[in-house]
Amino acid sequence: MDIRSKVLDTLYSKKGSFVSGEDIARTCDCSRANISKVISSLRKDGYVIDSQTKLGYRMNNLNDKLCEQGVNYYLPRSLHYDVDYFDEIDSTNTYMKKIALEGIRGRKIVASSYQTSGRGRRGKSFLSPKGTGLYFSILLGDKLEYIDSKMITVLFALCVSETLDELSGKKTGIKWVNDIYLNEKKVCGILSEASFDIESGGLEWIVVGIGINVYLPKKGFDPSIENLAGYIFEHPEHDVFNKIISSVVSRYHDYRENLSTAEIVDRYISKSILKDKKVKILQNKEEYDATVEGIDRNCNLIVVRDNGKKEILSSGEVSIKL
């Protein structure tokens, strides 16, 4: 671990309290002059660090800089994650898939506040405005024999929706199967990608990518999505990027270990925004209008075509008719 990471570890471990430069230097096994240089560098990179004579340094509670130490600060100690974070990246899912293909497993997250080539479902691009969104991917590579792969996106959609509800005090909903909506506008998309073992047919790994519109971009959303896209917070919230990631991850582990599939499905269905809505369905190159009847116990979407024929969908694109 380099000195910069050690300094961040120390400041986050004592978050809210001052730590003397001498104590930090001792922990990092370097001079106080080096600590001063590292603190200056961190401030230039956007970290809000207080300093006071005779008291030392303190990570300010208003800090909202995405980093490994920040994510793990809010996680239970038993859930420590390795976090790679970037100010800019092509796609967090692409990066994480490369890591998975190299055989790396364990608790791993990659996160950024800007993607240049974000991807959505069915190969669509995912617009990722700079500095106002949170984009992160989680590698699932352990105990996959106990996972119903179909339920992964359902579970993470629930975890994200409940996280945003808790942190914002607002009520989000889920548009089947993996979009999070607030005030009838999309604020989050989720893309799950997996690799299967050819011989056993079992899962080798799953990468879950999550993109959230945390704030409204200064110049607004791109004209192509401005009538469809929403955002969570009107004003800056302290450390919200780190809090969102840690809360989603914590919920995932908690629900996977402590909730039955039936309980997860119940919560997911309760957050659906599609019941009784008029929608347009795109499935297997066929497009048709229908009314949503509900979601079944396998999280399939039940719709009734305009001609009265009932369909049960396990996949497909759904858009709400305005």
Domains of the chain: 3-59 (1.10.10.10), 68-270 (3.30.930.10), 278-320 (2.30.30)
Give the mean pLDDT of 129-146.
81
More confident residue, 224 or 246: 246
Which helix H or strand E contains 158, and what residues bound it? Answer: helix 149-168
Model confidence at 126: pLDDT above 60: no
pTM of this structure: 0.89
- pLDDT confidence tier of residue 40, bands split at 50, 70 and 90: very high
Q: How far, in Å, CA of 178 to CA of 191, rounded?
A: 8
Q: What percent of the chain has pLDDT over 70?
A: 93
pLDDT confidence tier of residue 7, bands split at 50, 70 and 90? very high
CB 43, CB 34: distance < 8 Å: no
What pLDDT digit, counting tens, does each position of 174-217 carry? 999 999 999 999 999 999 998 877 766 678 899 999 999 999 98
Report pLDDT for 321: 83
Kind of pairing between the strands at 185-196 and 301-305: unpaired
The DSSP H or E segment spanning 265 is helix 261-270
Size of the chain in residues: 322
Q: Are 208 and 110 in contact (CB under 8 A)?
A: no
Q: What is the pLDDT of residue 202?
A: 74
